[in-house]
Structure 1
Amino acid sequence: MDKLILLKACNYCAYQERTHDEVRQRMADWKVYGDEAEEIIAELITENFLNEERFAKTYAGSKFRVKKWGRNKILQELKRRKLSDYCIKKGMEEIDDEEYFLVLQALLHKKLHNLRTETNEFIRNKKAADYAMRKGFEAGLIWDILRNK
């Protein structure tokens, strides 16, 4: 195993949380393949530089708190990154139900405020709901909030 490649991989993983697949892609860029790449990944896991459960928790928590993404979008992105169902489940546990509801409520309130020039209330609500759904929030929850505003 090349110590220089291992050091580069350690630095790559120390900068931010990564998935196994992201590390494999980066090593392919460095022309490291097959058994050597898998050995390096095993070493990164052993040294705790690489942990997909930790990645999922960090990713889900930050996308929700910083970007205000809903569960659907976060779930889709975690699956796209080829994480195990266990890691995805652990990541999704980072989203508190009460906080989730309050974030969606605030998001809809702000969007409705920005749409105040739209005189037709149905169109306004539809535009706000579409916006929240693009952010990954569930349609049922969105419409419950809009009906009770």
Structure 2
Amino acid sequence: MQKKYLTKAQALRKLQRFCAYQDRCHSEVRSKLIELGVYGDTLEEVMAELIVERFLDEERFARSYVRGKFRLKKWGRIRIKQELKMRKISAYCTKKGLEEIEEEEYMACLRAILEKKISDYTRKYDDFTAHQKAAVYANGRGYEFPLIWEILREMRSKV
């Protein structure tokens, strides 16, 4: 089967719809263009046009990505940073994106995760092991160990 090549105008229209549906990063758009058979100068021209028309904005992508992953999936900052780095998002845009997470909301989310996991684990394990397993779980979701231990110490002092 012969591959159909798109003109610049066709590729631009397709990618405008692709980017309008949800915020995309440059690497996703570049991959989509290559998948559609658009290469070289045409690819770069379409990318430039999308940026000029504000269909493609890495800072906006980083901000919406951080909001979504934190609020919906309850990921921590470490995991979010790793995912943005995999998508080749600049350090500046990553920093701007992480500003979307308010500290109080972040700590409340971490506290809720730890409380839930501790209550799940105390059915099977002693308190020390339950706390340790909850800490490992929270770290696996991308939360920082110093914050995890700070909240665990607070929780222990209240008991």
Residue in 2 that maps onto 1:57: 63
In structure 1, what is the equivalent of residue 29 of structure 2?
23
Task: Point out 4+ residue stretches in structure 1 off by more than 2 angstroms.
Answer: none
2:105 to 94, 99, 105: 99
Q: Deviations over 1:69-123 (max 9, x none)?
A: 0000001111111011111110010010111001100111111111121342111
What's 1:66 paired with? 72
Task: Say which one has the larger Rg.
Answer: 2
Aligned to 2:3: none
For residue 141 of structure 1, the aligned residue among 129, 144, 147 is: 147
The one-letter amino acid paired with 1:13 is C
Gaps of 5+ in 2: 1-6
Query: 1:4: which partner in 2?
Result: 10
Aligned match for 1:125, one of 117, 125, 131 = 131
Judged with a 3 Å threshold, the aligned counterparts in structure 2 of structure 1 residues 121 and 39 are, in CA distance, closer, same or farther, namely: same
Deviation at 1:45, TM superposition (A): 0.7
Aligned partners of 2:129 and 2:139: how far apart in 1?
15
Aligned residues: 149
1-structure distance, mates of 2:125, 2:23: 46
TM value normalised by structure 1: 0.97
Aligned to 2:51: 45
C-alpha separation between the residues in 1 aligned to 2:37 and 2:52? 23
**CA RMSD, Structure 1 to Structure 2 (Å):** 1.0
